[in-house]
Amino acid sequence: MTDATQTARAHVVANADYLSRGCATIFEYAEPAWREYRSAAWYVAELRKAGFDVEEGSGGMPTAFCAQWSNGAGPVVGMYAEYDAVPANCQAAAPARAPRGGLGFQAAGHTDPHSALGMAGLGGLLATKAAMEHHGIKGGLRFTGEPAEKVRGSKPIHAAKGYYDGLAAMLSFHPFYMLPMCNTVRWDTHCGAAYAMIYRFRCDDAQAWGTSDGAPIPQSHSDVRAPGANDALVQMYQAGRFLRDTMLPHQGGWSISEAIISTGQATADNLPASLAEIQYMMRVPTVQMAEQVTAALDRQADAIAAMTGCTVTRHWVCKSRPGLANHAMASVVWDGIQAVGAPRWGDAARDVMRKVQAACGVDPMDDPLLEACAALIDPQEAEAILRRDLPPSQSNSTSDDYTDMTWHAPTARFYMARPALRGGPYPAWAMNALGGISATIDPMVQAAAQVLAVSALRILEDEGARNSAMREFEDRKQVADIPPLCDYEPPINFAWPEYVETPRGRDWHIPVSPI
């Protein structure tokens, strides 16, 4: 450990209360994809206070930003924050199932939790800056605000617009969410491709349905006889479920999911629905597989539109590339993880965990913490475990849009343990609550922020490590280079779920009051 890394780690510890309050603030905001107005504004204000130049609305995304700071000519290291929450996961920071104040369970809540992910990023950033200033380390820092990660939203757009270009390294952190990726760094098998799109069905000419000469049958309520957009949506949903099994091979951990986007229609009894939208999200190992699925869905949508008297248009939500490994960067971060160690939970945190177990109907345990949360696992050992369930020919698995960063700068993807319970299975609210209660989530924020700072300073101070990472990056890109796939505008104008202000006060788009 260098003097600079000691300074940075001490800075994270000294600012524990600040990071804890920030984490609680973003957890309470719990704003979903493309609607993270308060969360983004909070980060922008704090970064400006810390001396960063901040571009708001970066990449044409209102809730994105790009913050930069320089201590003179030198290498630039990138980090980032995510802060989007997930609808239908509203949970208070309390050891019992309860929504946050004034809301219902259908409002958004942090699941991964991105509230803590972003705060660890900010803590690592500010600690690195403090060490650079104190020890006269030349170079710069770039910190991007990444909205809508749950729909793989911002990073493909930022990548295509050059926000990750020119970096010596990118550090990507995520709270642990699946074994064996806990207190470790990815080695070879990075996340795969992800495509998401919305099919919009419109029924604009219902009056022409069923006519032969262009004139409706008198007194027939001919408009309502038109199938309309709702019928198109239902058929698309059902046909997609049947089609799913034939679109891709039965291996590789791929998935396709759909979500119906609400149009808020309350039509009269003699008017068909004029607009309906359905979103598809796919996680697949390769871009080729994503294109295969897209072609099948396109054919299906066109046929259904013709059958239901509608028109259909496809609108991209994301097109994200599979990830590119970098062993040199992974080794730098693994050294940092070993220096910092796993998060450390004290008696107060374990007391909270036991209360959550009791609220879930599980007998509280002497040590309620999942064993893996307190241990480190070597990246190559984790890789071997991960590969057991994958065919040898498959290079990537599951998805996350950090992968778009890996094609623009040497990138390491690492995971630190979030609080998880032994036993179970537990309902989703239990993990969500532990991700918001300060006593249980702060240890992860502290550990991850220190790993980020230690790793960033290693890249800034160690020219050999920095050059090794860049050489490997360039060599791997020569073998297989995938340019940015984003050829669409930010999909910000759809009816995404959000909070609303009404005469009743601040509410979710689905009213809190029972109907």
- The answer on pLDDT for 515 being more than 50 is no
pLDDT at residue 221 tops 70: no
pLDDT-derived band at 250, boundaries 50, 70, 90: low
Q: In what order do the strands lie in the sheet with 76-82?
A: 53-56, 65-70, 140-146, 76-82, 169-175, 411-416, 184-185
Stated as kind and residue range, the H or E segment containing 49 is: helix 37-49
From the number of C-beta atoms within 10 Å of its C-beta (0-12, 13-18, 19+), residue 438 rates as buried
pLDDT at 212: 63
Of the pLDDT bands very low, low, confident and very high (cuts 50, 70, 90), residue 219 is low
Helix 114-135, helix 37-49: angle, nearest 10 = 10
Say what the pLDDT of residue 270 is.
66
If you average pLDDT over residues 349-356, what whole number do you get? 98
**Residue 118: its pLDDT value, please?**
98
Model confidence pLDDT, tens digit, residues 357-375: 999 999 999 999 999 999 9
Q: Is the pTM of this model over 0.85?
A: yes
Residue of higher predicted confidence among 215 and 141:
141
- Return the C-alpha torsion angle 423, 428, 433, 439, nearest 10: 30
Residue 243 pLDDT > 90: no
When comparing pLDDT for 413 and 1, which is higher?
413
Q: Which residue has the higher pLDDT, 265 or 92?
A: 92
The model's pLDDT over 263-305, given as tens digits with 9 standing for 90+, comes to 767 656 667 788 899 999 999 999 999 999 999 999 999 999 9
pLDDT band at 245 (very low <50, low <70, confident <90, very high): confident
Angle between helices 16-29 and 438-461 (to 10 degrees): 120
pLDDT of residue 255: 84
Place 205 in a pLDDT band, splitting at 50, 70 and 90.
confident
pLDDT above 90 as % of the chain: 80
**pLDDT(248) > 50:** yes
pLDDT exceeds 80 at position 22: yes
Output the CA torsion sign for 243, 245, 249, 253. positive
- Residue 222: the pLDDT is 58
How much is the pLDDT for 512?
Answer: 61
**Alpha-carbon span 147 to 36, nearest angstrom:** 7
Reported confidence tier of residue 514, pLDDT bands at 50, 70, 90:
very low
The structural domains of the chain, ordered by start, are 3-190+322-479 (3.40.630.10), 194-320 (3.30.70.360)
Mean pLDDT of the chain: 92
Residue 394: is its pLDDT beyond 80? yes
Mean pLDDT (whole number) for 225-244: 85
Segment 17-37 shows an average pLDDT of 97
Q: Strand, helix or coil at 233?
A: helix
Q: What angle do CA 350, 356, 357 make, to 5 degrees?
A: 90
Alpha helices for 136-264 (secondary structure H): 154-160, 222-225, 228-247
Rounded CA Rg of the chain: 24
pLDDT at 200 over 70: yes
pLDDT value of position 67: 98
pLDDT over 70 for what percent of the chain?
93
User: For the chain, how many residues are written?
Assistant: 515
Question: 433's torsion region: left (phi>0), alpha (psi -120 to 50) or beta?
Answer: alpha
pLDDT digits (tens, 9 = 90+) for 99-131: 999 899 999 999 999 999 999 999 999 999 999
Cα gap 31→92, rounded to integer Å: 14
- Which contacts (CB < 8 Å, 24+ apart) does range 39-48 have? 39/63, 39/83, 39/84, 39/118, 40/64, 40/65, 40/83, 40/145, 40/147, 43/81, 43/83, 43/118, 43/122, 43/145, 44/145, 46/22, 46/122, 47/122, 47/143
Q: Tell me, what's the pLDDT at 116? A: 98
Rounded mean pLDDT, 71-97: 97
The 3-state DSSP composition of the chain as helix, strand, coil percent (nearest 5) reads 40, 20, 40
